[in-house]
């Protein structure tokens, strides 16, 4: 297994644990805020 593939697998395992604590919406809001992008939540979530 390549080193890159191993890193991806580790990331997936950690992201699964992370998203049990932080919702996708909260993670997205933080990302938008961090990069100064306006988010109109009326259109962001279904």
Q: What is the pLDDT of residues 29-41, one digit of tens each?
A: 999 999 999 999 9
8 Å CB contact between 40 and 34: no
* pTM greater than 0.85: no
| Coil, helix or strand at residue 45 | coil
DSSP character string of 8-28? HHHHHHHHHHHHHHS-HHHHH
Residue 42 has pLDDT above 90, yes or no: yes
CA angle 46, 42, 37 (to 5 degrees): 110
| Coil, helix or strand at residue 1 | coil
């Amino acid at each position: 297994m390549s080193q890159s593939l191993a890193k991806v697998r580790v990331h997936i395992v950690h992201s699964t644990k992370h998203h049990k604590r932080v919702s996708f919406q909260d993670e997205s809001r933080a990302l938008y805020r961090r990069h100064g992008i306006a988010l109109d939540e009326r259109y962001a979530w279904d």
